[in-house]
C-alpha cells in the first residue's frame, strides 16, 4: 500500500457548488463519530439532489458499522479521495470499523470539522460536512438525504484525478476535463 499524500491546504468552498466535485460520481469516504466511536466507510451510491439548500442523497447499508453512528449522530463528513488514495479506499471498504480504527490502520488524519462532530479526513482533496436533512427513506431504502453545511476544498490540483467504482473490484479513473461551455445556454451553466 502506498503512503497517503500529505495534508493539502484547503479553503472554504460555496456549498451550493459542490456538484463540481460530486456530480461526476466519484467514490467517496464517509467519516462519522458518535459518543466515543468514529469510523470511515467507502461509498459509491450517492447523488446531488439540490443546489440550495445543498442536498445530497446516498445509500448507507444497514450492515455497515457507520450506519448507526450516522443515524444516531445525524451527521457525517463526505470526503473526496483522489487516485493516490486508492489503496486506502479499497482497504477501508474491506474491513469493519467494529474491529479496527480505520484512521489508525490506514494512516489517515482526523481533523476537526467546523459544523459537525464527525472528523474530516485530512488527506482527501475535499471535505463536505453534512447534517441529516430528511431521514424518511432510511427505513425502507437505507437512503439518507443530507444537507452540506460546510465545504473545504484543496487549492491544488485544479483538476484532481478521482476514482469511480464499477463493482467487481474495478475503478474508472477520471481526470481529463473537457469544456463545452460555448455549447451551453448561459442560464444553464
Does residue 165 belong to the site contacting its own copies (CB under 8 A)? yes
Instruction: Determine which residue in the list 94, 112, 155, 156 makes contact with its own copies, applying CB under 8 A.
Output: 94
Residue 56 CB, shortest distance to its own copies, in Å, is 10
Residue span binding its own copies (CB under 8 A) among the ranges 66-74, 100-108, 117-125, 166-174:
166-174
Does residue 184 belong to the site contacting its own copies (CB under 8 A)? yes
Residue 22 CB, shortest distance to its own copies, in Å, is 8
Please identify, using beta-carbon distances, which residue of 98 and 177 lies nearer to its own copies: 177
Contact 168, 182 (CB under 8 A): no
Report CA-CA distances (Å) from 89 to 64, 77, 158: 15, 15, 21
Instruction: Determine which residue in the list 5, 7, 49, 53 makes contact with its own copies, applying CB under 8 A.
Output: 49
Please identify, using beta-carbon distances, which residue of 35 and 185 lies nearer to its own copies: 185
In order, the DSSP letters of 75-144 are: EEEEEE--GGGHHHHHHHHTS-TTT--HHHHTT--EE--SSSSSPEETTSSEEEEEEEEE-TTHHHH-EE
Contact 79, 85 (CB under 8 A): no
Instruction: Determine which residue in the list 25, 53, 117, 135 makes contact with its own copies, applying CB under 8 A.
Output: 25
Amino acid at each position: 500500500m502506498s503512503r497517503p499524500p500529505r495534508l493539502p491546504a484547503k479553503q472554504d468552498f460555496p456549498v451550493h457548488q459542490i456538484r463540481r466535485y460530486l456530480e461526476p460520481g466519484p467514490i467517496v469516504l464517509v467519516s462519522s463519530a458518535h459518543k466515543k466511536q468514529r469510523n470511515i466507510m467507502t461509498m459509491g451510491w450517492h447523488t446531488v439532489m439540490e443546489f440550495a439548500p445543498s442536498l445530497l442523497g446516498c445509500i448507507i447499508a444497514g450492515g455497515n458499522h457507520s450506519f448507526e453512528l450516522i443515524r444516531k449522530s445525524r451527521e457525517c463528513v463526505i470526503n473526496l479521495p483522489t487516485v493516490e488514495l486508492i489503496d486506502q479506499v479499497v482497504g477501508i471498504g474491506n474491513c469493519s470499523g467494529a474491529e479496527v480504527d480505520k484512521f489508525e490502520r490506514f494512516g489517515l488524519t482526523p481533523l476537526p470539522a467546523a459544523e459537525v462532530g464527525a472528523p474530516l479526513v485530512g488527506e482527501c482533496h475535499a471535505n463536505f460536512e453534512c447534517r441529516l436533512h430528511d431521514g424518511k427513506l432510511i427505513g425502507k431504502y437505507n437512503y439518507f438525504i443530507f444537507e452540506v453545511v460546510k465545504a473545504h476544498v484543496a487549492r491544488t490540483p485544479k483538476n484532481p484525478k478521482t476514482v469511480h467504482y464499477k463493482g467487481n473490484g474495478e475503478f474508472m479513473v477520471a481526470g481529463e476535463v473537457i469544456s463545452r461551455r460555448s455549447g451551453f445556454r448561459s442560464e444553464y451553466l
